[in-house]
Amino acid sequence: MSTSFLHVIAVVLLLEYVNQTVADEQEYRLTRYLMSNYDLAVRPSHNSSLPLRLTFDLSLHQVIDLDEKNHVLTTSCWITQKWTDYHLRWNVTDFNGIPVIRVPASQVWRPDILLFNNSADTEKPPDHVNTNVIVKYTGEVVWFSRALLRSSCQIDIKYFPFDVQYCTMRFASGTYDGLQVELMKEKDHTELRDYQENGEFDLNGFSATSTTLQYSCCEEPYPELVYTLELRRRPLYYVFNLILPCLLMNCVSLLTFCMPCESGEKVTLSICTLLTIVIFFVFVKDTLPPSQETPLISLYYVVTICLVALMTIFSVLTLHVHHRGNFENEVPRCIRSVMLGFLAKIIFSKCSSHTEQEPELKLKDDEKKSNLERQSSNEDKFDFGHIEQYNFSPRLRKRKEMGETSDYSNDEYKRQVLRILGKIYETVERNEMRIAEKARKENIKTEWHQTSLVCDRLWLALFLIVSTVMTLLVLLSSPHGP
């Protein structure tokens, strides 16, 4: 039993070897038969007056890179081309039932389909991985090829980084017109089954359209297949690395109006913030291609730079108002009524005005000056009745009583006492006037300081509103959304 089983296995292996040898010989003979009188330069059409139908299909594998500066789109694609070669037909029964063979693509006629909008980079020509063509006994030829395509793409950076780019790849025959090769798309829909996601762009759409071009030099129509890619940029990277720092610098610049004028660092903070934003803007400018249209992010940086520059100017004006009190110039009445009255209530700032105290202080100063003048001119007209109302010192009173019995006359005694009291009174009055003048200067300084404080809060509210509105208008102006 075991011996007969071994005989059967040996017979099967022998028949398999014989069939394989016959098949190899038949395939070799078939290849020799097809290539014996084959000419690569001849268009394999059944009738020379009829066009050769060519179906073309592009399967997108990956979007490798989109170079905004050079306007070049690099993609990895699978290209499928099918046509019928009437010079590559055979009878299956004549060649041991072989229906399909595979031959090198360089040995058969191939259509010269080119990427018309190929980039002008001569150092990096399109990379093709040529494979064998599949030939069926009916003459149908299928050619699969892998290509690394670099096509030119018009970049629209108006809404960068919230932009959507539309790139096209135009395929057409280099020498054959529509009367010789009829170029058709294989499917109405494009294939994205093996597509690999790109880290910078999302593929929102990939479509194919068939068009016919008519050139001025030729009367024949030229068919063309146009593949359109809709690429939406992922803005998260740019939001965190370009927009968010600028927004934070804008918020820091608003703190300039919260810093007290006595610190002496208001202008320094504004200038440092302005320089930081300018450095970021230079970095953004270097990453974008030159264009007639201003990108959205560049517009945002320019608006921010202008706002920070205006903040610096208004900070200098606020410092000028704050130190205006050192020159002993009073706050004008119109400015006092507007800034310390109306605007102070709007921005919820409590400011104490000294306008009511000024007439009383001026009246007292005038009375004291008139008293001093009267005392200096009429020093001899004082009598003891006027002296006694002050009741300054018991010693003087004692000396007065002793003066009645002394050798000095009453007139001499009165004159000396009045001279001493006049000097004391004059000294007291001058001291009071000095204190009043000092209080008046302090009031003037306080009013100017309060005016500068109202200005700071007013600028803070104004620039906060303007910065918020401008940020929303710029960043939300893109039709594709942030």
Q: What is the pLDDT of residue 22?
A: 44
Q: Which of 131, 101, 105, 111 is nearest to 32 (CA)?
A: 101
Helices (H), 378-409: 384-388, 394-405
Q: What is the pLDDT of residue 394?
A: 53
DSSP per residue, 160-180: TTS-EEEEEEEEEESS--TTT
Mean pLDDT for 411-437 is 80
How many other C-beta atoms lie within 10 A of the C-beta of residue 31? 17
Residue with tokens 């290849």: 31
> Which one is predicted more confidently, 1 or 328?
328
Over 90: is that where the pLDDT of 229 sits? yes
Q: What is the pLDDT of residue 356?
A: 45
Mean pLDDT for 90-102 is 89
Mean pLDDT for 415-434 is 81
Is the separation of the CB atoms in 118 and 73 below 8 Å? no
Q: Which residues contact 323 (CB under 8 A, 6 or more apart)?
A: 261, 448
Rounded to the nearest integer, the mean pLDDT of the chain is 78
Q: What is the pLDDT of residue 230?
A: 93
The share of the chain scoring above pLDDT 90, in percent, equals 18
Q: What is the pLDDT of residue 126?
A: 52
255-300 pLDDT tens trace: 888 888 777 788 888 899 999 999 988 888 887 877 778 888 888 8
145-159, 264-278, 287-301, 346-360, range with the lowest pLDDT: 346-360
Q: Between β-strands 100-103 and 127-136, what pairing exists: parallel, antiparallel or unpaired?
A: antiparallel
109-126 pLDDT tens trace: 999 899 988 875 544 445
Q: Which residues contact 285 (CB under 8 A, 6 or more apart)?
A: 298
Q: Between β-strands 72-84 and 140-152, what pairing exists: parallel, antiparallel or unpaired?
A: antiparallel
Over 60: is that where the pLDDT of 317 sits? yes
Over 80: is that where the pLDDT of 331 sits? no
Over 90: is that where the pLDDT of 81 sits? yes
| C-alpha–C-alpha distance, residues 133 and 66, integer Å | 32
Q: HSE (CB half, 13 Å, CA atoms) of 379?
A: 15
Q: Which of 222, 288, 276, 271 is nearest to 247 (CA)?
A: 276
Q: What is the pLDDT of residue 349?
A: 62
Mean pLDDT for 300-307 is 90
Q: What is the pLDDT of residue 288?
A: 80
Q: What is the pLDDT of residue 20?
A: 46
381-391 pLDDT tens trace: 444 444 444 44
Q: Which residues contact 399 (CB under 8 A, 6 or more apart)?
A: 413, 417
The share of the chain scoring above pLDDT 70, in percent, equals 75
Q: What is the pLDDT of residue 225?
A: 93
8-12, 118-122, 325-329, range with the lowest pLDDT: 8-12
Mean pLDDT for 438-457 is 75
Q: What is the pLDDT of residue 343?
A: 65
Over 90: is that where the pLDDT of 231 sits? yes
* Residue 2 binned pLDDT confidence (cut-offs 50, 70, 90): low
Question: What pairs with residue 151 in β-bridges?
Answer: 73, 118
Mean pLDDT for 157-178 is 89
Is the separation of the CB atoms in 157 and 68 below 8 Å? yes
| C-alpha–C-alpha distance, residues 458 and 448, integer Å | 15
Mean pLDDT for 135-141 is 92
Omega before 161 within 30 of 0, i.e. cis: yes
Q: What is the pLDDT of residue 38?
A: 86
Over 50: is that where the pLDDT of 473 sits? yes
